[in-house]
Structure 1
Amino acid sequence: MSCHSSQILIVEDEERLAAFIDKGLTKQGFTTAIAEDGEKALRIAREDGFDLMLLDLGLPVVNGWGVLKELRSQGEVRPIIIVTACKDEQERIFALRSGATDYITKPFRFKDLLECIQTHLTGS
């Protein structure tokens, strides 16, 4: 399975960061959608689906924890990568235990994010 044309849902309320990730992924051949709050993220996940989700934790309306919990409790198995400014090791462990596929801290290099995405999309 080629990673190209995979649908990536970027859940990020910081407009500039969302645009930066969006631009980089589009350039790599991915299809992207942006949700700036947790409620919208859940709606897109239900209606349009996604192949992989990049999820910020500090979101308006429904935070990232709520989105993660809601999707996993509905049996969602697709990769959800937490992208957060929090560098707390306990939080990272909690996120992974709560069903996050991976955990990346901001600021990050786009190359590292891309590598992480490709790893989880190919399932290797």
Structure 2
Amino acid sequence: MTSRQSKASAGDAFKSLSDAVAGLLRQELRRGEAEMREKARLGSRGAVLLAAAGVCGGAAAGTAAVTLVRLLDRVLSPRASALAATACLGVAAGIFASRGFRELRPALPLLPTDTLGSLADDLDASESDN
């Protein structure tokens, strides 16, 4: 076998291998795309149901507020009971918001800061090597 023939057969083998890998990648991408489409279709139903639950929950909160006002009407004037209910709900909202922000603070910012810092360090190191 001559050197030219071995180079040609090695080149053919490499081309065949790269074509096979490219074909496998295309197949996996198509499969992944189909899977994501199916998940989006299934997830959209759940999102709609959660939105409906949010609307119903908001309506329930509204009727709970009306119930609170009516209960306070028994001991206070209508204006005072509305003001008291508003104050109670406002204080509760403030407490929930404060605690929610306190819980979220460790997760902020939502960017992967450690990874970005590591990438910046790697870039700085590669620039200093050159």
Asked if TM exceeds 0.5, the reply is no
Larger Cα Rg: Structure 1 or Structure 2?
Answer: 2
- TM-score after normalising by structure 1: 0.17
- The structure where helix makes up a greater share of residues is 2
Q: Name the structure with the higher strand share.
A: 1
Tell me the TM-score normalised to structure 2 length.
Answer: 0.17
